[in-house]
Amino acid sequence: MSVTPGGDVERSPAATEGTPGPDGRPALEVVDVRRGMFGAQDGGDTSGYGGLVVPVVLPGPSERPYGGWFDEAVDVLAELLDASGTGYAAAVESVVVDRGELTLHVRREHLLEVSRHLRDDPDLRFELSLGVSGVHYPNETGRELHAVHHLCSVTHGRRLRVETTAPDDDPHVPSVTSVYPGADWHERETWDFFGLVFDGHPALARIEMPDDWPGHPQRKDYPLGGIPVEYKGATVPPPDQRRSYS
């Protein structure tokens, strides 16, 4: 992969075909190209950063053997999904091993089933959710919004990621609070900042921005600067007037 002087991306054969690179790491997939500092253009910048061209790349699918305990974990999950009738290929889009970390890309309609298997099976036992975070890739058509679940197995001393996607025009993914109750506030924060709607969440509301705040500030299409500061009075209502989540 390279970037031409004109700013166009030339993808290497490995990146195009999705085969591992010469160092054994997954091929890189170009999902976007950023131009200028923070994406700003035509701002009268005299620092030279206005001509900056940076490709946004993600590691592509990995090939077996994944190494370490990764193969065993994927095999156990595949057996469980096949036995349930869902099918491993229907639920898991790809497996990525990069920098010694395992990520399972799961289709959103199967996220809850995969999460339950990861939590409950004794050979997996990823019983702890460390959080949910969001990512916005505005030019990754049909997969603009990513929800990334960070899981930990206290039993086996292991960690993995479960990543699922949704398009901008249908930003819905299932809430995992029925499986990992501790994900409650993390999903609220991801909704607040990225606009990902977690279906089934017990009380999906803003957690950091004011309730009437327009937009979601960590999306790439959110305006940079020029946002008027709004002071709400910083008052705390009495307990009988506070928002209820029951």
Judge whether 23 lies within some domain: yes
Are 67 and 20 in contact, with CB atoms under 8 Å apart?
A: no
With vertex at residue 104, the alpha carbon angle to CA 54 and CA 154, rounded to the nearest 5 degrees, is 115
User: Can you tell me the distance from the alpha carbon of 144 to that of 161, in angstroms, rounded to the nearest whole number?
Assistant: 18
Do residues 78 and 138 both lie within one domain?
Answer: yes
What per-residue confidence (pLDDT) applies to 24? 55
Asked whether residue 240 is domain-assigned, the answer is no
Number of C-beta neighbours around residue 175 at 10 A: 23
Residue 95 lies in a domain: yes
215 in any annotated domain: yes
CATH of the domain at 153: 3.30.460.80
Q: How far is CA 217 from CA 40, 140, 146, 185, 229, in A?
A: 16, 19, 15, 17, 14
Give a yes or no: residue 100 inside a domain: yes
30 and 90 share one domain: no
Q: Which residue has the tokens 């290497």?
A: 12
User: 196 and 166, same structural domain?
Assistant: yes
Query: Both 35 and 157 in a single domain?
Result: no
Q: Does residue 119 sit in the same domain as residue 164?
A: yes
| 75 lies in the same domain as 50 | no
Q: How far apart, in Å, do the first and last CA atoms of the chain sit?
A: 52
Domain for residue 237, yes or no? no
Task: Give the pLDDT score at 30.
Answer: 85
- pLDDT-flagged residues of the chain (< 50): 1-19, 21-22
Answer yes or no: is 232 within a domain. no
Same-domain check for residues 52 and 122: no
Please indicate, yes or no, if residue 183 is contained in any of the structural domains: yes
- What pLDDT was estimated at residue 5? 41
Radius of gyration of the chain (CA): 21
Clarify whether residues 81 and 187 are in a common domain.
yes
Assign 11 to helix, strand or coil: coil
160: domain range? 70-224
Residues in the chain: 246
Domain count for the chain, please give it.
2
DSSP codes, 22-43? TTSSPPEEEEEEEESGGG--SS
